[in-house]
Structure 1
Amino acid sequence: MRETSDSVGRSPSNVTAISGSGMASGNATAERVLRHLSVEDLSTPAYLINHKFQVEWANDYALKDLFGRENGLPPAIEDSSLFNLLLSSPIARKADGLPELLKFHLTIAKRRASKAFLFLSNPNLDSREAELLGQLYDRVQAVPTHQMTSDAEVNLAARDEPQKWHKLYATFFREGIFFTVAPEEREQESFLTWLSRRDIVIRDLLRVRRPYVTSLAVLVADLQSSMRICAELPPEQYFELINSIWTTMQPYLRKYYATYGKHAGDGMLYYFLPQPDSNYIMNAIQCSFEMRAAMRKVNREWQSRKNWGTTLHLNFGLEQGEEWFGTFEGPTFIEFTALGDTINRASRLSDFSRDGSIWITKSMLSRLSDKERSHIRYGIRQTLANGSEAHIPEMYSRISNMIDPEDPRNHKLLDISTLAATELFDIGVDDDEA
Structure 2
Amino acid sequence: MKDERDREISSKEVLERTGISRATLNNYIKMGILPRPSVRIPEAGATGTKRIGYFPRWVLDRIDEVRRLKNDGLSIEGIVDILGSAEKNRGEQYAAEERLTDYSLSEKNVKTPSVRRNDVERHGKNTARIDLDSIGAPSYFINYKYEIEWINEAAERGIFSRRVSAIRDEEERNIFRLILDWEFRSNLTNWDELLDVHVALLKEHHLIDDAEELYDGMSRDELELLKTSCRKAGYSGGESTIRRVPVRLDGRTGTDDYSLYVSFFREGILFIYEHREELLDGIMEYLHNRGAVIQELLSKKMPTLIPFAVLVADLQESCRICAELPPEEYFEMIHEMRDILENVFKKYYGIHGKHAGDGMVYYFLKQRDSNYIVNALSCALEVKERMREFSRRWKDRKRWLNELYLNIGINEGEEYFGVLRASSSIEFTALGETINYAARISYLARFGSILVTKNLVNKLKNEDRRMFVMGLRKSHPEGEVFVENIFSRVIDLTGPDDPLKAKFMDVATVPVIELAGQREEGPAALR
The two structures have a TM-score, normalised by structure 2, of 0.68
Deviations 1:287-335 (A, max 9, x none): 2122222222222332333333222221110111222222222333322
Deviation at 1:416, TM superposition (A): 1.6
Larger Rg: 2
* Candidates 209, 224, 229, aligned match of 1:115: 209
Amino acid at match of 1:421: V
Amino acid at match of 2:215: N
State yes or no: 1:317 paired with 2:409: yes
State yes or no: 1:154 paired with 2:250: no
Deviation at 1:192, TM superposition (A): 5.0
Deviations 1:252-301 (A, max 9, x none): 32232222101322100111221012232222112212222222222233
Equivalent runs, 1:38-117 vs 2, <5 Å: 39-70=132-163, 72=165, 74-88=167-181, 89-90=184-185, 91=188, 94=191, 96=193, 98-108=195-205, 110=206, 113=207, 115-116=209-210
Equivalent runs, 1:5-20 vs 2, <5 Å: 7-9=72-74, 13-14=101-102
Shift in alpha-carbon separation, 1:203–1:411, aligned structure 2, 3 A:
same
Deviation at 1:171, TM superposition (A): 4.3
Cα distance in 2 for residues equivalent to 1:142 and 1:361: 43
Cα distance in 2 for residues equivalent to 1:59 and 1:341: 31
The two structures have a TM-score, normalised by structure 1, of 0.82
Contact preservation (8 Å) 1:171, 1:179 = yes
Instruction: Say which SS state the counterpart of residue 404 (structure 2) adopts.
Output: coil
- Equivalent position of 1:413 in the other structure: 504
- Equivalent position of 2:367 in the other structure: 275
Deviation at 1:167, TM superposition (A): 2.2
Amino acid at match of 1:48: F
Contact preservation (8 Å) 1:217, 1:320 = yes
Equivalent runs, 1:29-428 vs 2, <5 Å: 30=126, 34-35=128-129, 39-70=132-163, 72=165, 74-88=167-181, 89-90=184-185, 91=188, 94=191, 96=193, 98-108=195-205, 110=206, 113=207, 115-116=209-210, 119-123=212-216, 124=218, 126-135=222-231, 139=235, 143=239, 150-158=242-250, 164-171=256-263, 176-191=268-283, 201-202=293-294, 204-386=296-478, 388-428=479-519
Shift in alpha-carbon separation, 1:314–1:367, aligned structure 2, 3 A:
same
Contact preservation (8 Å) 1:362, 1:422 = yes
Amino acid at match of 1:247: D
Contact preservation (8 Å) 1:253, 1:287 = yes
Instruction: Say which SS state the counterpart of residue 272 (structure 1) adopts.
Output: strand
Structure 2: 5+ residue runs without aligned partners? 1-69, 79-98, 104-114
The higher relative CO (CA closer than 8 Å, separation ≥ 6) is in 1
Deviation at 1:351, TM superposition (A): 0.6
- Percentage of matched positions with identical amino acids: 32
RMSD, aligned CA: 3.6
Instruction: Say which SS state the counterpart of residue 13 (structure 1) adopts.
Output: strand
Deviations 1:185-233 (A, max 9, x none): 4232255566566676556534443223222211101112212222222
Deviation at 1:74, TM superposition (A): 3.8
Cα distance in 1 for residues equivalent to 2:123 and 2:226: 43
Deviation at 1:56, TM superposition (A): 0.9
More off after superposition, 156-165 vs 332-341: 156-165
Shift in alpha-carbon separation, 1:231–1:417, aligned structure 2, 3 A:
same
Contact preservation (8 Å) 1:101, 1:154 = no
Deviations 1:69-89 (A, max 9, x none): 446564211333334434554
Deviation at 1:397, TM superposition (A): 0.5
Shift in alpha-carbon separation, 1:317–1:399, aligned structure 2, 3 A:
same
Deviation at 1:156, TM superposition (A): 2.2
Contact preservation (8 Å) 1:381, 1:391 = yes
Structure 1: 5+ residue runs without aligned partners? none
Cα distance in 1 for residues equivalent to 2:227 and 2:316: 55
Contact preservation (8 Å) 1:47, 1:62 = yes
